[in-house]
Amino acid sequence: MIKMPLLGLFSYYWGVRPHQGSQYWVQFTLWLSSLFFFTTWQGSLLQVGLIVWASQDWRERRIAAVPLEFWSVLVAWPHWQPAVIGLVLGLSLGWISGGFGSGDAIIVAALAGYFPLTAVLWVLLLACLSTLAHHYHHNEATYPFAFHLAVGVQVWLWLSPLNLI
């Protein structure tokens, strides 16, 4: 296996071990695509935050509350009303399902504050399909939904300019 110095730097930063190669490549792809899709500070903050929360949720199956809340306020700052509605719906869904974490609900609320409603629904559908594929590939007790939300955002960003979604 050929190792590139730049990729080695990212793998050291993210704490990826050799057996976590697929996670590493997905995170690198998310990071690389974030450089091309967003040109505003808010979009860049959204992408960097999604990558950080996806990485933390994948490794630890939990997300730190204080930085996540600070990030979500900055991302949803110009559009408070959809974010509040998204947070209420996300928390009620978490309460009903018993498996949807509050960190996931906060990320969904931040996405609802940044994207239009139809885009958020597509992102949630793509994230659920990604989680379903993860379930069929690896049958685990818990799944890192923040990671699948980041994948859903990326797939939506790739397909929406092509008018496929």
Domain membership flag for residue 6: no
Helix (H, G, I), strand (E, B) or coil at 4: coil
Higher pLDDT, 43 or 5: 43
- Residue range 20-62, pLDDT digits in tens: 555 555 666 555 555 555 556 777 788 888 888 888 888 888 8
Does residue 94 have a pLDDT over 70? no
Residue at 11 is within a domain: no
Residue 22 lies in a domain: no
Q: Which two tokens stand for residue 15?
A: 């704490």
Examine residue 118 and state whether it is found in any structural domain, yes or no.
yes
The pTM of the full predicted model, rounded to 2 decimals, is 0.61
Instruction: Look at the chain and report how many structural domains it folds into.
Output: 1
User: Is residue 14 a part of any domain in this protein?
Assistant: no
Residue 144 belongs to a domain:
yes
Residue 83 in any domain: the answer is yes
Q: What is the pLDDT of residue 8?
A: 43
Residue 90: give the domain boundaries. 41-162
